[in-house]
């Protein structure tokens, strides 16, 4: 049993180390918005006489699209019927059926196909570039099947923060106005810092006496009490507003409802005087 394990282990590690891979000419790709770029799908560390194979590509089509696929037919020279640039689908994000075959019997490293991409995503987005076996045309060496390892790549569009508020542009609700709080009173996706009508009551902030309260917008005497409710504000809206209409008379205006210390003192003295008078009267 010991001998078997000792024999099998080195064989396993040798095979593992020499495993052929199908991968990208560059696996980690940093690009910019609207860039066009090309990547080769490459074979690496193939042993023996490779006579062909195939691959499928998958990607996030909201980040990149594939414009075209090219194959060098001087290398893959079995004839155009034996090669295929596959079917591009930029809705699902795939190129299915890239297929290459040759009489040249390649070994080591080689280019399978060149994929030409167009960046369509915005800054801060990224996608994996997934490679998988084309089952109808597997990799083969002198007619025997090879099982390469497929190694994926990625494409990233670095995030930018134009207004320097610490919120990347693609998630900043005011990308050109610094607003680290991201406050958006009316929750319309546009932050207060760049929203002309923060409470969305139809009155622009610069003419709205209550720019972040949808209940009211007019305060003629500027006392903090609205002259009227906005027509769109129903009873529930009014109750939730935290505002009291000007001249509603409920409190008689601010400090009128409170009792001063002097009044309390005079009232107390009056009560004492009445009681004492009552006590004196009862004595006689
Ligand atoms: Ca920002
Ligand atoms: Ca901002
Ligand atoms: Ca808003
Ligand atoms: Ca408003």
* Contact predicate 60/47, CB 8 Å: no
Across residues 64-75, what is the average pLDDT? 97
Residues 230 and 239: their CA atoms lie apart, in Å, by: 13
CA of 125 to the centre of ligand 2 (A): 18
Judge whether 274 lies within some domain: no
CA of 258 to the centre of ligand 2 (A): 46
> Do 65 and 143 fall within a single domain?
yes
User: Is the pLDDT confidence value at 106 over 80?
Assistant: yes
CA of 195 to the centre of ligand 4 (A): 10
Judged by DSSP in three states, 284 sits in coil
User: CATH number, domain at 105?
Assistant: 2.60.40.680
Judge whether 271 lies within some domain: no
Q: Binning pLDDT at 50, 70 and 90, where does residue 274 land?
A: low
Judge whether 247 lies within some domain: no
> Do 130 and 19 fall within a single domain?
yes
Across residues 80-104, what is the average pLDDT? 95
Judge whether 128 lies within some domain: yes
> Do 147 and 10 fall within a single domain?
yes
CA of 183 to the centre of ligand 3 (A): 8
pTM of structure: 0.61
- Share of the chain residues as helix, strand and coil, in percent rounded to the nearest 5: 20, 30, 50
* Contact predicate 50/111, CB 8 Å: no
User: Is the pLDDT confidence value at 194 over 50?
Assistant: yes
> Do 151 and 174 fall within a single domain?
no
* Percentage, residues of the chain above pLDDT 90: 75
Judge whether 273 lies within some domain: no
User: What would the pLDDT profile of 214-257 be if each residue is shown by its tens digit?
Assistant: 999 999 999 999 999 999 999 999 999 999 999 865 433 333 33
> Do 9 and 150 fall within a single domain?
yes
* Contact predicate 214/227, CB 8 Å: no
> Do 130 and 169 fall within a single domain?
no
CA of 222 to the centre of ligand 4 (A): 16
pLDDT of residue 143: 83
Q: pLDDT averaged over the chain?
A: 87
> Do 87 and 226 fall within a single domain?
no
Across residues 124-141, what is the average pLDDT? 95
Nearest ligand, CA of residue 213?
Answer: 4
> Do 176 and 103 fall within a single domain?
no
| Domain housing 43 | 2-156
Across residues 133-160, what is the average pLDDT? 94
User: What would the pLDDT profile of 40-56 be if each residue is shown by its tens digit?
Assistant: 999 999 988 999 999 99
CA of 213 to the centre of ligand 4 (A): 7
Show the DSSP H helices in the chain as ranges. Answer: 2-17, 235-241, 261-283
> Do 34 and 148 fall within a single domain?
yes
Nearest ligand, CA of residue 173?
Answer: 2
Judge whether 270 lies within some domain: no
What radius of gyration, in Å, describes the C-alpha atoms of the chain? 39
Nearest ligand, CA of residue 179?
Answer: 2
CA of 166 to the centre of ligand 3 (A): 19
Judge whether 32 lies within some domain: yes
Q: Regarding predicted confidence, which is higher, 4 or 197? A: 197
List, as ranges, residues with CB under 5 A of the ion ligand 4.
Answer: 197, 199, 201, 203, 208
* Contact predicate 150/21, CB 8 Å: yes
Q: How many domains does the chain have?
A: 3
> Do 66 and 113 fall within a single domain?
yes
Across residues 182-191, what is the average pLDDT? 97
Q: Where are the beta strands (DSSP E) in the chain?
A: 21-24, 28-30, 36-58, 64-70, 84-89, 94-119, 126-133, 140-141, 144-145, 149-150, 153-156
Residues 198 and 185: their CA atoms lie apart, in Å, by: 6
Judge whether 191 lies within some domain: yes
> Do 54 and 152 fall within a single domain?
yes
User: Is the pLDDT confidence value at 119 over 70?
Assistant: yes
Across residues 3-25, what is the average pLDDT? 60
pLDDT of residue 273: 65
Residues 73 and 78: their CA atoms lie apart, in Å, by: 8
> Do 73 and 145 fall within a single domain?
yes
Instruction: Please give the distance of CA 120 from its chain centroid, rounded to a whole number.
Output: 15
């Amino acid at each position: 049993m010991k001998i078997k394990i000792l024999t099998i282990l080195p064989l396993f590690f040798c095979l593992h180390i020499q495993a052929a891979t199908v991968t990208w000419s560059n696996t980690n790709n940093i690009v910019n918005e609207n860039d066009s770029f090309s990547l080769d799908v490459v074979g690496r560390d193939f042993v023996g006489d490779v006579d062909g194979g195939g691959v499928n590509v998958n990607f996030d089509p909201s980040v990149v699209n594939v414009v075209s696929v090219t194959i060098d037919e001087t290398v893959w020279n079995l004839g155009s019927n034996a090669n295929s640039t596959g079917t591009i689908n930029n809705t699902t994000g795939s190129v299915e059926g890239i297929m290459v075959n040759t009489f040249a019997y390649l070994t080591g490293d080689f280019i399978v196909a060149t994929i030409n991409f167009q960046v369509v995503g915005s800054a801060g987005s990224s996608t994996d570039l997934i490679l998988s076996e084309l089952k109808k045309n597997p990799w083969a060496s002198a007619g025997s099947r090879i099982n390469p390892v497929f190694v994926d790549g990625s494409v990233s569009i670095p995030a930018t923060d134009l207004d320097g508020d610490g919120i990347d542009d693609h998630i900043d609700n005011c990308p050109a106005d610094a607003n680290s709080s991201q406050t958006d009173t009316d929750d319309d996706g546009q932050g207060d810092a760049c929203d002309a009508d923060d409470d969305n009551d139809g009155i622009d902030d610069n003419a709205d006496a209550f720019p972040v309260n949808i209940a009211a917008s007019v305060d003629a005497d500027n006392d903090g009490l609205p002259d009227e409710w906005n027509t769109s504000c129903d009873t529930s809206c009014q109750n939730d507003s935290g505002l009291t209409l000007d001249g509603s008379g409920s409190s008689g205006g601010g400090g009128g409802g409170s009792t001063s210390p002097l009044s309390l003192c005079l009232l107390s003295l009056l009560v004492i005087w009445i009681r004492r008078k009552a006590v004196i009267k009862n004595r006689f």
